[in-house]
Structure 1
Amino acid sequence: MNEIKIIRVAQGKNSTLSHLYIGGLFACYLLEDSVRKEKIQGLTCIPEGEYLLSLNSWAGMNAKYAPKYPKLHQGMIEITEIPNYQLVFIHIGNYHTQTAGCPLTGSYWQLLDGDYQVMHSTAAYKYVYPLLVGEIGKGNNRIEVLNQCSTSGSPSLR
């Protein structure tokens, strides 16, 4: 079975830069909120662990994505089974202020004023979305989240 992984590689002041791997291959960058020991609603990335990926066709973000991407959208890719978290979607965005605890897709990253941001988010989303939908359809619907963060200001390249 192919593996889907989020590997966190760098920590900013309020942000976390990650790599998304699908089938052992790098697929895109992800931006999340900070890694924290205690959860702060909307400001904390999901904890390390293994979770379920599913398609959510009822939550609020579908109203925005379905008409915007009618040929692509089959539901929001949701990460479920996370203790004390719900409605965590992989979606488009550039800044940690847009995450609300969700991973944002990016084609590349930059560091500005101590925080990471991801750029060309829509292009990355359009690339990884069908890959993840395909994996979910094949029953490969587990995602592992690993922390390998560096706080030095530059991500570890793994």
Structure 2
Amino acid sequence: MKSVVKVLRKKHGKNSTLSEIYLNNQFICYGLEDIPREKKIPGNTSIPAGRYKLGFNCDGGMNGNYYERFPKLHKGMIEIKDIPGFKYVYIHIGNTHKETAGCLLVGTGYVFEKGEYRLLQSVMAYKKLYALLVELMVSGEVFIKVGE
């Protein structure tokens, strides 16, 4: 079975992009990325619009940190695969565009302050989305569609 996560970009701050994240057409949480750019700035550019496969990445320091933090939940970082010109793009915890490193952050709510969007309760949203995605990824392919 194929499942699809939709990241619908809704609002832009000076350096932040706020989105709504849906799983099989059900709202799950909010997302935050950097802004789109014509020319990529590593770690400061949003994911290009498109459809990508999700997979587990069990390498690197972030994976170890999340395993220590969530030992019963963590099966590997959820990586957005095969984005042209991008590597190691994860769905992870964070609140501001400064914490994205070119990845997708998640939160249960958001605020707009000083021209930027900031997520709220990122850990809560991450644990919810992560558990749903792991269940689907173990039983079949899961894709993410990023766009307006």
The TM-score range, normalised by the shorter chain, is over 0.9
The alpha carbon displacement at 1:122 in A equals 0.3
The alpha carbon displacement at 1:140 in A equals 3.0
User: How big is each residue's C-alpha offset from its partner over 1:9-46, in whole Å with a ceiling of 9 and x where there is no partner?
Assistant: 11100000011110110111011001112111111011
For structure 2, the 5+ residue unaligned runs are: none
User: Which residue matches 1:123?
Assistant: 124
User: How big is each residue's C-alpha offset from its partner over 1:51-91, in whole Å with a ceiling of 9 and x where there is no partner?
Assistant: 11001111221111001100000000000110010000100
| Identity between Structure 1 and Structure 2 (%) | 46
SS at 1:60 equivalent: helix
Q: Distance in 1 between matches of 2:31 and 2:52?
A: 17
Q: Does 1:42 align with 2:54?
A: no
SS at 1:3 equivalent: strand
User: Which residue matches 2:110?
Assistant: 109
Q: TM-score, normalised by structure 1?
A: 0.90
Quote the RMSD (CA, aligned, Å).
0.9
User: Which residue matches 1:82?
Assistant: 83
Which AA in structure 2 matches 1:58?
D
Which AA in structure 2 matches 1:74?
K
User: Which residue matches 1:132?
Assistant: 133
Q: Distance in 2 between matches of 1:136 and 1:33?
A: 26
Q: Distance in 2 between matches of 1:3 and 1:54?
A: 13
Contact 2:54 / 2:81 at 8 angstroms: preserved in 1?
Answer: yes
Q: Which runs of 4+ in 1 moved over 4 A?
A: none
Q: TM-score, normalised by structure 2?
A: 0.96
SS at 1:90 equivalent: strand
Which AA in structure 2 matches 1:69?
F
User: Which residue matches 2:30?
Assistant: 29
Contact 2:3 / 2:143 at 8 angstroms: preserved in 1?
Answer: no
Aligned length, in residue pairs: 147
Report 1:89-100 matches (<5 A): 89-100=90-101
Report 1:45-64 matches (<5 A): 45-64=46-65
Q: Distance in 2 between matches of 1:56 and 1:106?
A: 22
Which AA in structure 2 matches 1:47?
P
For structure 1, the 5+ residue unaligned runs are: 148-158
Which AA in structure 2 matches 1:65?
Y
